[in-house]
């Protein structure tokens, strides 16, 4: 079996690891392999990322520059030269899988990656796809591409799917401690993949196929999306009835069985939960299935930014103020608390809605000092410092992301109006509106 050579190299820590895509998934994984004394080559098309890494600088808040410097000194290099794939034994693809404007899977990054690496693939190599995608991608897209250059999967080269499970900002779980799902095209592929990931992950969970592994990742995120959609809908019902949904959830969570608390918000953010469910929705159509739960949850969650802005507008109106011309401060623009990740942030959606309605916008976010360059969203803004005077200068504070770094007492005591989308304030006052 040719793959035995690769298994031996992995077990002896002599395999060279190639990570394609050095974002929130790829970079932590690269550092994890370095920690276990593997040589790692990181690939990315973004020259700024490459230069930062090779100069020992991090561009992700929860990854320190000292970790990057130590990795560079030890056994890590970053490059945009994909010819160096010839020097690797392992290739792990961690590129984005967004949606198109028609909410259909956009596999451009995966397709471009596989076309780029094909000339450099060789025998005794393992290729692992970690990018979240629909069931069948590994088998229907990657497998034929690899076979087209004459490599036999399971004999010459191994192919697996092992979905990422990163949770940026979660101090309870790390790349090492989060169990890893893996499925292989063949039993040999699975054996090689298990050998690799068991070197760096505490618990590796094999499944029967790449399709099963792909579906597992989707189920994880659909489970969250549907339950968040349910509680967001409950929030609207409770609001109409004059009931605080957060008080209801906290009371229900005292039940020791049969209930798992999910919390409402201004919409879904991050690269996974707002996007991944629609990968299954799209694929299910091929089988004549209409995924009603998934699509309904998507509709509810996607409508949340508009609902919040309508609550904000109504609150201003009750105070005889027009939304147009009002000074609005958005608190928190990353998609969840205590991180700098802006992907699919509902804060940005709300900022665009406010701007379109003529509001004068500012934001404060200790994790995002300058509004980043984004593909579809353009704001020339910097985070403002919060003090009693700056807070008082705004007609309305929109609490969008509840970072721990905010001084909530200072904000409450000096604001004219607070729209609280996260249930941060428990008390009921005239100037706090739950949304």
239 and 199 both lie in a single domain: no
Tell which residue, 172, 175, 126, 132, has the closest CA to residue 146. Answer: 126
User: Residue 424 — φ and ψ, nearest 5°?
Assistant: -75, -35
| Assigned token pair, 334 | 């990353």
CB 107 within 8 A of CB 133: yes
194 in the same domain as 325: no
Strand runs (DSSP E) across 89-139, as ranges? 90-93, 125-129
For strands 396-399 and 327-331, give the pairing. parallel
pTM: 0.92
Q: Are residues 275 and 182 in the same domain?
A: no
Per-residue model confidence (pLDDT) at position 274: 82
Phi, psi of 420 (to 5 degrees): -100, 105
Count CA within 13 A, CB hemisphere, residue 274.
24
What does the angle CA 217 – CA 37 – CA 181 come to, to the nearest 5 degrees? 15
Contacts of 93 (CB under 8 A, 6+ apart): 20, 21, 110, 113, 114, 127, 128, 129, 130, 131
Q: In whole angstroms, what is the distance from residue 363 CA to residue 368 CA?
A: 10
Contacts 24+ apart (CB under 8 A), 346-349: 346/265, 346/266, 346/267, 346/268, 346/269, 346/304, 346/305, 346/400, 347/266, 347/269, 347/400, 347/401, 348/374, 348/377, 348/379, 349/267, 349/305
Q: What is the pLDDT along the chain (435 residues), one digit of tens a residue?
A: 577 899 999 999 999 999 999 999 999 999 999 999 999 999 999 999 999 999 999 999 989 999 999 999 999 999 999 999 999 999 999 999 998 888 889 999 999 999 999 999 999 999 999 999 999 999 999 999 999 999 999 999 999 999 999 887 778 888 999 999 999 999 999 999 999 999 999 999 999 999 999 999 999 999 999 999 999 999 999 999 999 999 999 999 999 999 999 999 999 888 778 888 899 999 999 999 999 999 999 999 999 999 999 999 999 999 999 999 999 999 999 999 999 999 899 999 999 999 999 999 999 999 999 999 877 778 999 999 999 999 999 999 999 999 999 999 999 999 999 999 999 999 888 899 999
C-alpha angle 230-180-167 in degrees, rounded to nearest 5: 50
Instruction: Please give the residue range of the domain that contains residue 425.
Output: 232-434
Which pLDDT score is estimated for 427? Answer: 85
Residues 296 and 339 in one domain: yes
Beta bridge partners of 17: 40, 90
Please check whether residues 367 and 327 belong to one and the same domain.
yes
Domain shared by 272 and 403, yes or no: yes
Whether residue 397 contacts residue 410, with contact meaning beta carbons closer than 8 Å, is answered with no
Residue 226 counted as domain residue: no
Indicate the length of the chain as a whole number: 435
Q: Return d(Cα 21, Cα 109) in angstroms, integer.
A: 10
Quick one: 270 and 184 in the same domain?
A: no
Residues 197 and 241 both lie in one domain: no
At 378 the pLDDT is: 85
Q: What is the C-alpha separation between 238 and 256, in angstroms, rounded?
A: 23
Last residue of a domain, one of 148, 176, 208: 208
**Residues 94 and 183 both lie in one domain:** yes
Catalytic residues, which ones? 272
Identify the CATH number of the domain in which residue 421 sits.
Answer: 3.40.50.720
SS3 category, 396: strand
The pLDDT of residue 166? 83
Strands, E, within 165-304: which ranges? Answer: 180-184, 204-206
321 and 385, same domain (yes or no): yes
CA dihedral for 35, 36, 37, 39, sign (positive or negative): negative
The structure tokens 């700056």 sit at 390
């Amino acid at each position: 079996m040719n793959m035995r050579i690769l298994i031996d190299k992995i077990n002896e820590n002599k395999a060279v690891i190639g990570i394609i895509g050095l974002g929130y998934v790829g970079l932590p994984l690269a550092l994890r392999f370095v920690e276990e004394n593997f040589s790692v080559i990181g690939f990315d098309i973004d020259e700024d990322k490459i230069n930062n890494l090779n100069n020992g600088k991090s561009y992700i808040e929860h990854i320190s520059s000292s970790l990057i410097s130590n990795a560079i000194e030890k056994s890590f290099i970053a490059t945009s030269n994909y010819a160096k794939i010839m020097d690797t034994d392992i290739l792990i693809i961690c590129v984005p899988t967004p949606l198109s404007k028609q909410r259909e899977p956009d596999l451009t990054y995966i397709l471009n990656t596989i076309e780029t690496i094909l000339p450099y693939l060789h025998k005794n190599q393992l290729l692992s796809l970690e990018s979240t995608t629909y069931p069948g991608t590994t088998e229907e897209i990657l497998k034929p591409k690899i076979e087209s250059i004459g490599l036999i999967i399971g004999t010459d080269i191994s192919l697996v799917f092992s979905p990422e499970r990163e949770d940026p900002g979660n101090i309870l779980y790390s790349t090492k401690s989060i169990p890893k799902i893996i499925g292989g095209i063949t039993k040999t592929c699975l054996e090689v993949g298990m050998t690799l990931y068991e070197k760096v992950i505490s618990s590796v969970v094999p499944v029967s196929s790449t399709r099963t592994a792909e579906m597992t990742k989707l189920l994880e995120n659909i489970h969250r999306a549907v339950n968040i959609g349910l509680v967001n809908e409950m929030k609207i019902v409770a609001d109409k009835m004059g009931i605080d949904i957060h008080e209801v959830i906290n009371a229900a969570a005292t039940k020791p069985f049969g209930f798992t608390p999910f919390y409402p918000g201004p919409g879904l953010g991050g690269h996974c939960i707002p996007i991944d469910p629609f990968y299954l929705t799209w694929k299910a159509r091929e089988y004549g299935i209409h995924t009603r739960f998934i699509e309904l949850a998507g509709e509810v969650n996607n409508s949340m930014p508009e609902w919040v802005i309508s609550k904000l507008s109504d609150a201003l109106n009750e105070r005889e103020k027009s939304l147009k011309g009002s000074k609005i401060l958005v608190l928190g623009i990353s998609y969840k608390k205590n991180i700098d990740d802006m992907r699919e942030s509902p804060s940005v959606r709300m900022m665009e809605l406010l701007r379109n309605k003529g509001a004068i916008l500012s934001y404060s976010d200790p994790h995002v000092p300058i509004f980043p360059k984004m593909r579809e969203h353009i704001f020339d803004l910097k985070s403002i410092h919060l003090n009693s005077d700056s807070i008082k200068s705004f007609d309305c504070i929109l609490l969008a992301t509840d970072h721990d770094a905010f001084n909530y007492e200072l904000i409450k005591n000096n604001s004219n109006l607070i729209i609280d989308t996260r249930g941060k304030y428990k008390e009921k006052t005239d100037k706090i509106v739950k949304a």
